[in-house]
Amino acid sequence: MIGEVASFRRDLSAWYRHNARDLPWRRTRDPYAIWVSEIMLQQTRVAAVIEYYQRFMEQFPTIEALASAPEESVLALWSGLGYYRRARMMHHAAQIVEAEHGGKMPSTAAQLRKLPGIGDYTSAAVASISFGEPVPVIDGNVERVLLRLRGEPAVKGHPDAPGLSDLKAAAQALLDPDAPGDFNQAMMELGATVCLPRAPLCAECPVRAYCRTQGEHETGPAKKMRSLQVAYALIRQAPGPRTAILMTQRSAQESQMPGLWELPVIDPEGLAEDGILLTLRHSITNTNYYVTVYSLLPDQRERLRVPARSLRWINARELRTIPLTGLARKVLKRLKIMPGYTGMGPLVVIEDEG
């Protein structure tokens, strides 16, 4: 693919040393810390992960601490990151590592893949960064860089689009065997900050001389989003430091966010506009939710569209200790109910365009 592999490695590595973002998980080679960061970074922006990663590592600094924690505590700390199956699988994997590996992370990609929730990408990242195994990482950023370097389309179904095995072979050929972890991180960084999906910064690219597309690349159509409108109720007991909020817990059998807590869904028909506390937009995967939150009284519970057995009064001070959906956390923060709750007082309507 590229004749001057050695110079490609040298140019990319020099750029990475001078331009890499200072991220907390890059200050360590600890396989547990790398594992946590890579799981959190799946389908989640780096800026959103930093605070969660730091809090998570403070609460669960070792595999033993994570393995011995109740699942609800892990989910509560994960609340807001989304894709909660990641947290459940990581918790289960930590228990396996503690029980079957003496609390030590396996050191090869093949061994790591045997753990729940660890696939090709995460196993290669941990094995290369923490243990120096020469295995390439293929995530969305690296895939895009490779396709552009090779001059191949990224559109799925395109007759000339390469398969995963072709990309792995190309990545393996480029990989620096003397510093595989740094090289993998450099490739990911290049895709995340320079070789962008749209409007790539080709003038800033350290390996532009090796690129066959020079910014002209078929990437396929943008993801289509659907829109849904939904209404929730904020029902509270008497204002003050002992006030409680009526919350509902999603069934453990639900496919999305099982066991997490949220505000109850309501039928808003006939409700007055002056009862609106908050409107906002919340995006999950390919759906934009346009949310309206109403203030209701306890005797208006007939409007709720959730099973009565799922409802529970939760003290506002305890909200940070239970696993909440990302939307519930966003609403409660916007309404100044958490964190730093000191008594509710009047609630203010907040308009959010995005």
Give catalytic residue positions.
38
Beta bridge partners of 288: 227, 283
Q: Phi, psi (5° rounding) for residue 352?
A: -130, 120
